[in-house]
């Protein structure tokens, strides 16, 4: 839900967030071989979000990307393109953290994280590989890459044809909570991260994608205040490490 638009609308009977899909601003094309854990998450209405492979059967994304029943969704793995190539896997099971559907405010989930199971299982190759969980809360690089198939121009609503990525830099909690009144109210140091560089950001369509280096996922694209203007907010994956391991048997 990459923007602070809080209203809901109905689409074919399913509630969806207005402007709830961020995309990469100020980035460049990334070959899937360099981010083989990346998935594009789809419904019958088209691409919704990004996601990341954790194991042969489990993947991770933002909760706000999965607001319907599992059968409504599928992912594409191993392709630079969101609409062709690679392999397609249907979502069969969705797991959420600590009954999170009840803990949201102004259209934002406090724990904007979800795990989902797929069939058939992922077949690992050069273009399809799992990403690792962080091992320590102190393990947080200053600069990380965020990827997605979202908007590359938020004013023209111009979407990426291939996977895009941009390096963004860590913004301290103390700085981030002073960016806006909503950031002050909503962001928690325990389970949020702020990353952003002027003119470089995730945007509409990138939600659920990974903030990561080549081996480890540190954050999940959650929400922001515009695109490329101020730091974006990410789910802090380490906070959920033990829950993720218990669900997926990693």
Asked if 118 and 138 sit in the same domain, the reply is no
Is 88 part of any domain? yes
Asked if 121 and 200 sit in the same domain, the reply is no
Is 1 part of any domain? no
Q: How many CB atoms lie within 10 A of CB 126?
A: 9
Q: What is the pLDDT of residue 69?
A: 83
Q: What is the pLDDT of residue 104?
A: 57
Q: How far apart are CA 102 and CA 122, in angstroms?
A: 32
Q: What is the pLDDT of residue 16?
A: 30
Is 198 part of any domain? yes
Domain enclosing residue 219, as ranges: 131-239
- Supply the DSSP string of 15-79, one letter for each residue: EEETT-----BS-EE--GGGSTTEEEEEETTEEEEEEEE-SSSEEEE-GGG--S-GGGEEEEES-
Contact indicator for 22, 208 with CB cutoff of 8 Å:
no
Indicate if 123 belongs to the active site: no
CA R_g for the chain: 16
Number of domains, the chain:
2
Q: Is 194 helix (H, G, I), strand (E, B) or coil?
A: strand
Mean pLDDT for the chain overall: 82
Global confidence as pTM? 0.85
Is 210 part of any domain? yes
Q: What is the pLDDT of residue 152?
A: 52
Asked if 92 and 104 sit in the same domain, the reply is yes
Catalytic residue among 43, 79, 159, 207: 207
Q: What is the pLDDT of residue 183?
A: 86
Token reading at 123 = 């077949």
Asked if 135 and 235 sit in the same domain, the reply is yes
Asked if 116 and 144 sit in the same domain, the reply is no
Asked if 125 and 143 sit in the same domain, the reply is no
Asked if 223 and 137 sit in the same domain, the reply is yes
Asked if 138 and 51 sit in the same domain, the reply is no
Asked if 153 and 125 sit in the same domain, the reply is no
CA 20 to chain CA centroid, Å, is 11
Is 161 part of any domain? yes
Indicate if 207 belongs to the active site: yes
Q: How far apart are CA 91 and CA 119, in angstroms?
A: 7
Q: What is the pLDDT of residue 100?
A: 59
Tell me the torsion sign for CA atoms 115, 205, 20, 139: positive
**What is the CATH number for 90?**
2.40.10.10
Catalytic residue among 42, 64, 111, 225: 64
Asked if 121 and 138 sit in the same domain, the reply is no
**Which residue positions in the chain have pLDDT lower than 50?**
1-23, 25, 153-157, 200-201, 204, 228
Catalytic residue among 43, 89, 112, 222: 112
Asked if 159 and 219 sit in the same domain, the reply is yes
Is 24 part of any domain? no
Q: How far apart are CA 62 and CA 91, in angstroms?
A: 14
Asked if 195 and 217 sit in the same domain, the reply is yes
Q: How far apart are CA 89 and CA 190, in angstroms?
A: 33
């Amino acid at each position: 839900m990459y923007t602070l638009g809080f209203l809901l609308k109905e689409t074919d009977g399913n509630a969806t967030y207005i402007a709830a899909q961020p995309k990469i601003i100020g980035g460049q094309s990334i070959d899937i071989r360099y981010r083989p854990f990346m998935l594009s998450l789809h419904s019958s209405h088209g691409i919704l979000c990004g996601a990341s492979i954790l194991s042969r059967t489990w993947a991770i994304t933002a909760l706000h990307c999965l607001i319907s029943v599992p059968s409504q969704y599928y992912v594409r793995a191993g392709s630079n393109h969101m609409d062709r190539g690679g392999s397609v896997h249907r979502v069969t099971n969705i797991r959420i953290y600590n009954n999170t559907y009840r803990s949201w405010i102004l259209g934002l989930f406090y724990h904007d994280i979800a795990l989902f199971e797929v069939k058939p299982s992922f077949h690992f190759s050069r273009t399809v590989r799992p990403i690792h969980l962080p091992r320590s809360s102190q393990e947080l690089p200053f600069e990380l890459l965020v990827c997605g198939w979202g908007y590359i121009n938020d004013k023209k609503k111009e979407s990426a044809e291939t996977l895009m990525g941009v390096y963004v830099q860590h913004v301290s909690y103390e700085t981030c909570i002073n960016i806006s009144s909503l950031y002050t109210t909503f962001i928690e140091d325990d389970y949020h991260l702020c990353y952003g560089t002027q003119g470089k950001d995730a945007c509409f369509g990138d939600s659920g994608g990974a903030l990561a280096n080549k081996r480890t996922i540190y954050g999940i694209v959650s929400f922001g205040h515009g695109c490329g203007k101020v730091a974006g907010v990410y789910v802090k994956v380490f906070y959920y490490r033990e829950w993720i391991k218990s669900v997926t048997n990693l």
